[in-house]
Structure 1
Amino acid sequence: MISIHGHLSTQYADVTKFLADIVEEMWTDLNPVNRFKQPIKHALTSKTGRLRAIVSSQEHFDKVGGDAQTRQLKYVEKLEDSTYLKHIITAKPDQLKPIITTAQSILREEDLFVTVKGKTKSQPFGDLLLKNVFNYTSYRGSDHCYRRYQKLLFEQATCPYCNDEPAKIIKVAQGTPKSKIMMLYDIDHFYPKHAFPYLALSFYNHVPSCKICNQTFKEGKIFDTDTHIHPYQQCFDSIYKFELNHSVLVNKPVEKVKLVKVGSFPDQLAGILSLEERYTGSTKLARTADLVDILSKRTHLLANPACAPDEFNALLDLIKAFGVVKNKEEILTLQYGKYNRDIVKMFDVNNVLNIN
Structure 2
Amino acid sequence: MITIKTNKKTADKFADLILTTKKPYVSVSERIDNWLAAHVGHADEDIFRYIKKDIRKIITSKPAVLESILNDFTAKGYQARILDVAGKKLNKTGTELKDCFRYKNFRASKKAHWLSEQLNIKSCVYCNTQYSLTVQQKSGTKMLFHLDHFFSKELYPYLSLSYYNLIPCCASCNMGKSDKQFSLSENIHPYVDSLDYIAKYGTDSASLVKFLLNINKNESKIKLLLEIRNKHLGNSKIQKKLDNYKEHFRIDGQYAQFNDVVAETYLKSLYYNKHRRKELTDFFKTAHGQKLSDDMIKRFVVGNYTESKDLLKRPLAKMMKDISEDFFTHF
Report the AA paired with residue 86 of structure 1.
R
Which of 221-230 and 241-250 deviates more? 241-250
Coordinate RMSD, CA, aligned:
3.0
> 1:228, 1:313 → 2: CA distance?
46
| Per-residue Cα deviation, 1:136-187 (whole angstroms, up to 9, x for no partner) | 1111121122012112113xx10111111101101111xxxxx321100000
1:138 maps onto 2:97 in alignment: no
Q: What corresponds to 1:158 in structure 2?
A: 123
Report the AA paired with residue 111 of structure 1.
R
1:29 maps onto 2:11 in alignment: no
The answer as to whether partners of 1:169 and 1:184 remain within 8 angstroms in 2 is yes
> 1:312, 1:321 → 2: CA distance?
12
1:192 maps onto 2:135 in alignment: no
The answer as to whether partners of 1:2 and 1:231 remain within 8 angstroms in 2 is yes
Give SS of 1:243's match. Answer: strand
1:225 maps onto 2:184 in alignment: yes
Q: What corresponds to 1:2 in structure 2?
A: 2
What is the aligned counterpart of 2:56 among 86, 91, 98? Answer: 86
What is the aligned counterpart of 2:306 among 303, 306, 326? Answer: 326
The CA deviation at 1:40 is 8.9
> 1:24, 1:127 → 2: CA distance?
27
The CA deviation at 1:271 is 1.9
> 1:307, 1:169 → 2: CA distance?
38
Instruction: Report the identity percentage.
Output: 20
The answer as to whether partners of 2:125 and 2:190 remain within 8 angstroms in 1 is yes
The answer as to whether partners of 1:112 and 1:194 remain within 8 angstroms in 2 is no
The CA deviation at 1:53 is 4.4
The CA deviation at 1:128 is 0.7
> 1:167, 1:321 → 2: CA distance?
24
Q: What corresponds to 1:289 in structure 2?
A: 263
For structure 1, list consecutive stretches of 5 or more residues without a partner in the other structure: 6-14, 58-68, 174-178
Q: What corresponds to 2:315 in structure 1?
A: 335
Trace 1:14-163 onto structure 2 (pairs within 5 A).
19-33=7-21, 42-56=26-40, 70=43, 72-81=44-53, 84-114=54-84, 120-131=88-99, 133-154=100-121, 157-163=122-128
The CA deviation at 1:30 is 1.7
The CA deviation at 1:274 is 1.2
The CA deviation at 1:211 is 0.6
The answer as to whether partners of 1:75 and 1:106 remain within 8 angstroms in 2 is no
> 1:24, 1:318 → 2: CA distance?
37
Give SS of 1:222's match. Answer: coil
Q: What is the TM-score with the length of structure 1 in the denominator?
A: 0.76
> 2:224, 2:118 → 1: CA distance?
34
Report the AA paired with residue 50 of structure 2.
K
The answer as to whether partners of 1:165 and 1:335 remain within 8 angstroms in 2 is yes
Report the AA paired with residue 128 of structure 1.
E
The 1:295–1:351 alpha-carbon spacing in structure 2 relative to 1, beyond 3 Å, is same
> 2:81, 2:257 → 1: CA distance?
42
For structure 2, list consecutive stretches of 5 or more residues without a partner in the other structure: 284-295
The CA deviation at 1:79 is 2.4
The CA deviation at 1:320 is 1.1
Higher helix proportion (structure 1 or 2): 2
The 1:218–1:290 alpha-carbon spacing in structure 2 relative to 1, beyond 3 Å, is same
The CA deviation at 1:309 is 4.9
Question: Which stretches of structure 1, 4 residues or more, deviate above 6 A after TM superposition?
Answer: 311-314
Give SS of 2:89's match. Answer: strand
- How many pairs align? 303
Give SS of 1:270's match. Answer: helix
The answer as to whether partners of 2:129 and 2:315 remain within 8 angstroms in 1 is yes
Report the AA paired with residue 345 of structure 1.
E
The CA deviation at 1:207 is 0.6
The CA deviation at 1:255 is 2.7
| Per-residue Cα deviation, 1:79-102 (whole angstroms, up to 9, x for no partner) | 232xx1110111111101111022
1:170 maps onto 2:144 in alignment: no
| Per-residue Cα deviation, 1:230-272 (whole angstroms, up to 9, x for no partner) | 1111111011111112142571534321110124424122221
> 1:275, 1:347 → 2: CA distance?
24
| Per-residue Cα deviation, 1:105-130 (whole angstroms, up to 9, x for no partner) | 223544233486xx943211111111
The 1:190–1:309 alpha-carbon spacing in structure 2 relative to 1, beyond 3 Å, is closer
The CA deviation at 1:2 is 3.0
> 2:118, 2:299 → 1: CA distance?
30
